[in-house]
Amino acid sequence: MKIYIDGTFYPEAEAKISVFDHGLLYGDGVFEGIRAYNGRVLKLDEHIDRLYDSAKALLLTIPLSREELIEATLETLRQNNLRDAYIRLVVTRGIGNLGLSPLRCPKPTIFIIAATLELYPEKYYREGLKVITAATQRTSPAALPPAVKSLNYLNNILAKIEGLNAGVEEVIMLNSEGLVAECSGDNIFTIKKGQMFTPPIYAGALGGITRGIIFDLGQTMGVPLKEIQLTRYDLFVADEIFLTGTGAEVIPVVDVDGRMIGDGTPGVMTQKFIEAYRHLTQTTGTPIFV
């Protein structure tokens, strides 16, 4: 595996980041998880746009142009001869001292990893996930804007640990008002009486790229969509629930806190979204090899 670091490709064993990098010391940085399918990178422009928006919100200047960063991402895939991959694109504040001040970090660090990924075993796409509600609340938007995809993921990790301890693969996170925000790594959608619902961004949800794809697919499929505040009760009585994310893609949920969703199997509409999403991944995107 070859890894891009600040303009140079290194073998995996030689790819190193300084222990004084503020991305490591303080989680000061931003990232994108991106997928390539069938020789094309899905929604690359949208991912790059979100990365720059996240960096701007943190007053972090990315030292490459948008075009240069796109080319570096594609070249990382070419260097590893990958047509299907998960790409982790990271920009940190860079090397500084042991103080918090970003002014002591003169140059941000950029690294790109391209590898294979299976976030959930295939059986969960056929049978569905069981999930629980985490006691760990989603970080308040007043503390850290959910639109910023930062390296500080401890809040999500603590929630994920709760799920692992309970024997489930994913957890639902509530905000300080007890309303559904998102999962530890995925957005959440419910379906009730033919309508689709998802929490708004201000509830604490990340504006996921896959979430946006579902918006578009829903419109094409004629499924009404509303961004509304959801409670746990809304989840318990939903006809169908599915999660979305770059790594997770579209995955059904069949049990929430011991409550069976629908008949306990992936719903018809959820299966249609899975099929439509998988078709999209194989037919669209930025070509890797030209």
Distances (CA, A) of 94 to 24, 34, 50, 162, 178: 9, 22, 20, 32, 37
C-beta of residue 189 within 8 angstroms of C-beta of residue 69: no
Task: Determine phi and psi for 171, rounding to 5 degrees.
Answer: -130, 155
Pick the catalytic residue from 149, 160, 193, 226: 149
Cα of 174 vs its chain's centroid, Å: 17
Determine the number of helices (DSSP H) and then strands (DSSP E) in the chain.
8, 16
Active site residue 130: no
* 3-state secondary structure (DSSP) of residue 143: coil
Distances (CA, A) of 136 to 119, 149, 158: 22, 19, 7
C-beta of residue 32 within 8 angstroms of C-beta of residue 281: no
Per the rule left: phi > 0, alpha: psi between -120 and 50, beta: everything else, 278 is alpha
Give Cβ neighbours of residue 121 (< 8 Å, ≥ 6 apart).
none
Q: Which residues are part of the catalytic machinery?
A: 149
